[in-house]
Amino acid sequence: QQQVKQSPQSLIVQKGGISIINCAYENTAFDYFPWYQQFPGKGPALLIAIRPDVSEKKEGRFTISFNKSAKQFSLHIMDSQPGDSATYFCASQLIQGAQKLVFGQGTRLTINP
């Protein structure tokens, strides 16, 4: 059972453009929504995260937009750079108990110079 759906599977953006990755979750009990960035041969690394009590969080060029009623959230990368080329995973998490992460399928982002 896929509880977090992520799209698109792959994305190509020109340098300087805006990259947008979307996720939808099913379980309304989730209360923490992190995004992870993964480079080839490395483990996923936390990029940015949001709680459902806010609609937007921005850190530098990275912004999460959150729509609680639609059970959707998205990652926006402004002024995309070749160094942003990586695989991005959205995730959903319950912050009580074991706090297990449920991941989306991943998006391979390529920024063309």
Partner 1 sequence: DAGITQSPRHKVTETGTPVTLRCHQTENHRYMYWYRQDPGHGLRLIHYSYGVKDTDKGEVSDGYSVSRSKTEDFLLTLESATSSQTSVYFCAIRQNSGNTIYFGEGSWLTVV
Residue 7: both structure tokens together: 């799209």
CB 66 within 8 A of CB 54: yes
Which is nearer to partner 1, 85 or 104 (by Cβ)?
104
Task: Give the number of residues in contact with partner 1, rule: CB under 8 A.
Answer: 25
Which is nearer to partner 1, 77 or 103 (by Cβ)?
103
Say which residue the tokens 């979750």 belong to.
Answer: 25
CA angle 44, 89, 53 (to 5 degrees): 110
Minimum gap (Å) between residue 30 Cβ and partner 1: 12
58-97 residues in contact with partner 1 (CB under 8 A) are 89, 93, 95
Strands 107-112 and 101-103, bridge-based pairing: unpaired
Minimum gap (Å) between residue 83 Cβ and partner 1: 19
- Burial tier of 73 (Cβ tally within 10 Å: 0-12, 13-18, 19+): buried
| Sole binder of partner 1 in the list 45, 55, 79, 112 (CB under 8 A) | 45
Contacting residues toward partner 1, per CB under 8 A: 4, 6, 9, 32, 34, 36, 41-46, 49, 89, 93, 95, 98-106
